A and B are shown apart, each in its own frame.
Chain A
Amino acid sequence: MAALSIRGLTKRFGSIDVLKGIDLEIESGEFTILVGPSGCGKSTLLNIIAGLEKASAGTVEIGGRVVDDVAPKDRDIAMVFQSYALYPSMTVRRNITFGMECRRVPRREQDATVARVAKLLQIEPLLERRPAQLSGGQRQRVAMGRALVRDPLLFLFDEPLSNLDAKLRVEMRMEIKELHQRIRSTIVYVTHDQIEAMTMASRIAVMHQGDVQQFADPETIYNRPANLFVARFMGSPPMNTLPARIVAENGARGVVVGMGRPDPVRLPLPTAIARDLPAADVVLGIRPECIGEEHRRFGDDPAATLTVTAPVEMIEPMGAETVVVLRLGGERVLGRISPDVRLSPGSSARFALDTRKLCLFDPVTERLIA
């Protein structure tokens, strides 16, 4: 059964279409992440799911029940906010029990639930403190505790980690993922951070300009982005996208970057996908990790690796790897090489290219074609 299904959902603010017809089916137990740049409509969508905002058209079903006219408190949901939204005058315990108090849950049951959740989140020593006396990470945990006591059909997270510093964010990311694996609840999680999306989600909905660009598991999103927006949004650094042309040579099809230049780069295309492609202009997508130092080998098949010479423009040592800016057929691309390889900007070097994971996009529609 779908825990959440959204059909034909639109939202207009005056003359602005914030959401342009969203359709999503989310299975029970799934960890779905809505990711996109600010202003893409993801938070509006979450607020509509929660019932905090009204949709202009379309329906929302939670647990098989249409909830369009149901108040937020009766939707059987719990929400965690970016600002944590803890009630400042109440102790942690009161913050957690407030919802149960509103629903007139008996006192003894409240105490038992708080004890259970506090243990789960390891916030027992904080129960009598006030939010102002807590650190950012502790507040985050209390906010999750407040959601967890409800045991709802659906958890909604609105950028819950955005206000934490980088180190804590990584820790909490793991904790939330662990928590999900333990309690197997259905989560819809909004973030603008594509790393959070990749690391935690069982499925990712990439949003842009009020539309869902792609809704798939992280691996598909990463390796087979549905369009150029997804390709350029996901990954850090993102996928290189460069103008190229499909050509046929000796019966095999390849894709050429820098056609007509003195230094074109020709990449072979797997026959399985290349056979039906016409010779035409395309946009080639290649992930930075598919560009490595000279002696790197990708996969077991030696034919998968192509070695080219390219000028080096700049290097960025990151410690675990070095990001290198180079020119392929005149186009600027990023590669990720071993930190042991010393390259000097301004010189040329040999690079190994992984040709197995190339993506081709239509330059006009920007959609993935192969």
Chain B
Amino acid sequence: MSGAALRAGVPSAGSRIARSRIARSRILIYAALVLLALAFLVPFAVVVLNSLRTNQEIAATSMIGWPRGLAFGNFASAWDGFCMAGHCWGIEPYMLNSLTIVFPATVISTLLGALAGYSIALWRFPGDAWMFGVVTLGIFLPEQMKLIPWVIVLRDLGLFNTLPGLILIHTVQGLSFTTLFCRNYYVSIPPDLLKAARIDGAGFFRIFWRIVLPISPPILVVTVIWQFTGIWNEFLFGVTFTSGAHQPVTAALIALSAAVTTAPQFGVQSAAVLIAALPTLLVYLFGGRYFLRGLTAGAVK
């Protein structure tokens, strides 16, 4: 009815009321969204602004305020000059630690998850459903529960306070999620595809490498982003199983704040936080849309 009225160029009274009602609810929705967005962005904005202010400036005014000039020195000193926990090498070595952990742990857990998800989704073997249940149970177990078992495992393997130790932990811990993601993606692969490949003479691994993996990029991007951000931001295992020079950056940032309590260094601290957050921000910026697309893949056929 309103469509006809619009074409005629004379909106009827009814359609005018309906439209003003729609407009009003639109305004309310946008107002709420802008308000929430601001609330989420304020802490980030404070950190960004403080990273550009000198400590004197922050001390003279307050923690919240516009920078008078742009002091990029905070970043340099946070990167390799700032002293914390008895060393004056900034967060650079800890960033390198985190990078050393995150790349192998992400790649290995994603590949193993893909392989596990593939076998659970597309092959029938005794206890397959049970196996899937047990693997996904791992998602729901609290991290704290796994601390003691990991202490024993790392001790027996001689990996306590080492980067390979953390790589192992993150690889194993990630398998529940990567397996679930991949399995849910692979169940939509038509069974005929597998039958055709079996008649063609391909076995378990050849089907995986030549047929399943090449159609997996959407879900692999999702799991890689998930694993990368999860491992990068992980704190509990990092702070529990490593100390000193072997800590990942998330754990090291705590040492930095401990140093700050004596003489506040908000500028440097903010810069360090931003540097530490940079990799995940980049991953989000470049992979975010794949992530959202991948999560809903399969929802619409």
Which residues of chain B have C-beta atoms less than 8 A from A47's C-beta?
195
B214 adjacent to chain A (CB < 8 Å): yes
Across the interface, do A81 and B201 meet the contact criterion of CB distance under 8 Å? no
Across the interface, do B202 and A98 meet the contact criterion of CB distance under 8 Å? yes
Within 68-107 of A, Cβ neighbours of B (below 8 Å) are at 71-73, 77-79, 81-90, 98-99, 102-103
Across the interface, do A89 and B196 meet the contact criterion of CB distance under 8 Å? no
Across the interface, do A52 and B198 meet the contact criterion of CB distance under 8 Å? yes
B10 adjacent to chain A (CB < 8 Å): no
Across the interface, do B211 and A87 meet the contact criterion of CB distance under 8 Å? yes
User: Smallest CB-CB separation from B198: which chain A residue?
Assistant: A72
B58 adjacent to chain A (CB < 8 Å): no
Across the interface, do B201 and A73 meet the contact criterion of CB distance under 8 Å? yes
B6 adjacent to chain A (CB < 8 Å): no
Please, how many angstroms separate the alpha-carbon atoms of A47 and B206 in the complex?
22
Across the interface, do B200 and A83 meet the contact criterion of CB distance under 8 Å? no
Across the interface, do B202 and A85 meet the contact criterion of CB distance under 8 Å? no
Known A73-B198, A73-B199: A89·B193 in contact at CB below 8 Å: no
Of B197, B198, B201, which contacts A87 at CB under 8 A? B197
User: Smallest CB-CB separation from A87: which chain B residue?
Assistant: B211
Distance (Å) between the CB of A93 and the closest chain B CB?
Answer: 14
Which residues of chain A have C-beta atoms less than 8 A from B211's C-beta?
87, 89-90
Which residues of chain A have C-beta atoms less than 8 A from B215's C-beta?
88-89
User: Smallest CB-CB separation from A80: which chain B residue?
Assistant: B196
Among A47, A72, A87, chain B packs the most CB atoms within 10 A around the CB of: A87
Which residues of chain B have C-beta atoms less than 8 A from A77's C-beta?
199
Among B192, B197, B206, B210, chain A packs the most CB atoms within 10 A around the CB of: B192
Please, how many angstroms separate the alpha-carbon atoms of A98 and B194 in the complex?
13
Q: Give B208-225 as 1s and 0s: 1 = Cβ < 8 Å from A's Cβ atoms.
A: 001100110000000000
Across the interface, do B190 and A99 meet the contact criterion of CB distance under 8 Å? no
Within 156-209 of B, Cβ neighbours of A (below 8 Å) are at 190, 192-193, 195-202, 206
Among A72, A146, A158, chain B packs the most CB atoms within 10 A around the CB of: A72
Distance (Å) between the CB of A155 and the closest chain B CB?
Answer: 11
Task: Count B-side interface residues using an 8 Å CB cutoff.
Answer: 16
Across the interface, do A85 and B192 meet the contact criterion of CB distance under 8 Å? yes
Across the interface, do A89 and B214 meet the contact criterion of CB distance under 8 Å? yes
Across the interface, do A52 and B195 meet the contact criterion of CB distance under 8 Å? yes
Distance (Å) between the CB of B73 and the closest chain A CB?
Answer: 51
Which residues of chain B have C-beta atoms less than 8 A from A146's C-beta?
196, 200
Please, how many angstroms separate the alpha-carbon atoms of A103 and B195 in the complex?
16
Across the interface, do A102 and B195 meet the contact criterion of CB distance under 8 Å? no
User: Smallest CB-CB separation from A152: which chain B residue?
Assistant: B199
Please, how many angstroms separate the alpha-carbon atoms of A158 and B199 in the complex?
14
Which residues of chain B have C-beta atoms less than 8 A from A90's C-beta?
210-211, 214
Distance (Å) between the CB of A36 and the closest chain B CB?
Answer: 20
Of B196, B202, B210, which contacts A79 at CB under 8 A? B196
A201 adjacent to chain B (CB < 8 Å): no
Which residues of chain B have C-beta atoms less than 8 A from A86's C-beta?
196
Across the interface, do A102 and B190 meet the contact criterion of CB distance under 8 Å? no
Of A72, A82, A84, A88, which contacts B199 at CB under 8 A? A72
Across the interface, do A81 and B202 meet the contact criterion of CB distance under 8 Å? no
Of B192, B193, B200, which contacts A99 at CB under 8 A? B200
Which residues of chain A have C-beta atoms less than 8 A from B193's C-beta?
83, 85, 87
Across the interface, do A81 and B192 meet the contact criterion of CB distance under 8 Å? yes
Across the interface, do A85 and B195 meet the contact criterion of CB distance under 8 Å? yes
Please, how many angstroms separate the alpha-carbon atoms of A16 and B160 in the complex?
56
A50 adjacent to chain B (CB < 8 Å): yes
Which residues of chain A have C-beta atoms less than 8 A from B197's C-beta?
87, 98
Which residues of chain B have C-beta atoms less than 8 A from A89's C-beta?
211, 214-215
Across the interface, do B199 and A79 meet the contact criterion of CB distance under 8 Å? yes
Please, how many angstroms separate the alpha-carbon atoms of A83 and B199 in the complex?
15
Across the interface, do B190 and A83 meet the contact criterion of CB distance under 8 Å? yes
Across the interface, do B201 and A102 meet the contact criterion of CB distance under 8 Å? yes
Q: List 30 A-B contacts (CB under 8 A).
A: A50-B195, A50-B199, A52-B198, A71-B198, A72-B198, A73-B201, A79-B195, A79-B196, A81-B196, A83-B190, A83-B192, A85-B190, A85-B192, A85-B193, A85-B195, A86-B196, A87-B197, A87-B211, A88-B214, A90-B214, A98-B197, A98-B200, A99-B199, A99-B200, A99-B201, A102-B200, A102-B201, A102-B202, A102-B206, A158-B192
The 9 closest A-B pairs by CB, nearest first: A89-B214, A102-B201, A73-B201, A99-B200, A85-B192, A85-B196, A81-B192, A83-B192, A72-B199
